[in-house]
Amino acid sequence: MNRTGVRPSPIFLIIVAVAVIGGVLLTLDSPNAADAGALMLVLGGWGVSLCVHEFCHAIVAYRGGDYAVRSKGYLTLDIRRYTDPVFSIVLPLLLLAVGGIPLPGGAVWINHGALRDRKVESFVSLAGPLSNLVFGVVLIWADRLFVPLTDSLFGLSSVLMYLALLQIFAFVINILPIPGLDGWGAIEPWMSHEARRFGMTVRPWAPLVLFAILIGLPSVGGRVFDGMKQILAWLGGSPLLADFGQQIFFFWRH
């Protein structure tokens, strides 16, 4: 593979820098710096995970036979390449900032006819959410192993754990067998023609209905988040720290 096709774009590196700067601000003894740092770390970290999520779809597709993904720029981690900038980038980040719901954002257009077989098609769909799970586990253990729980680093540790919780949320939601989500894409190659046609019909609005329920019915959304926190604990994370991180992130609600 030509390495220029997989070189990280400057835009991706800027998003990484935003997240890193946010983490640094969280270590400063300043409430204003902490507020800005929480916003930058969570939104920047989510932007990074979105790029990695879509890159994983694309790299598996490339290895599986769809070589056009390189010419489309999907292997550059450039967030601008992942479909519409408003509905794929701005809207998910806005929902995350306002409602704390990590709506799946970008997408890559895969030529399924170029893929070798149905197993590859399934793995192309699963690669994205699996990247969220891996990212979440990495955040959990980086937090636990490398961020000592001191007063000066409490904010950083809490926000990192909250970001890990969001990654787990993204993984679980994305693998649901609902048209428009990756879980459906994983089983779609094995479905009948009629089932596929049904999926194509409801694909544009099915995920939005799901997220409208999660946001519009707090009791349902609350139970879902409780389940995500349980998974976080199973993976070695701290739901209590994640709660503190969520409070720090939503500083404007206090």
**Residue 188 is among the residues annotated as catalytic for this protein:** no
Q: What is the rounded distance in angstroms from the CA atom of residue 31 to the CA atom of residue 193?
A: 57
Phi, psi of 21 (to 5 degrees): -60, -40
Select from 84, 181, 82, 79 the least CA-distant residue to 126: 181
Would you write out the chain's pLDDT as a tens digit for each of its 254 residues?
555 456 789 999 999 999 999 999 999 988 899 999 999 999 899 889 989 999 999 999 999 999 999 999 999 999 888 866 555 666 666 666 666 666 666 678 899 999 999 999 999 999 999 999 999 999 999 998 877 777 678 999 999 999 999 999 999 999 999 998 999 999 999 999 999 999 989 887 888 788 778 877 888 888 988 999 999 999 999 999 999 999 998 876 65
Q: What is the model's pTM? A: 0.89
Residue type, 160: L
Q: How many CA atoms lie within 13 A of 111 on its CB side?
A: 15
- The single residue of 54, 121, 188, 194 carrying the catalytic annotation is 54
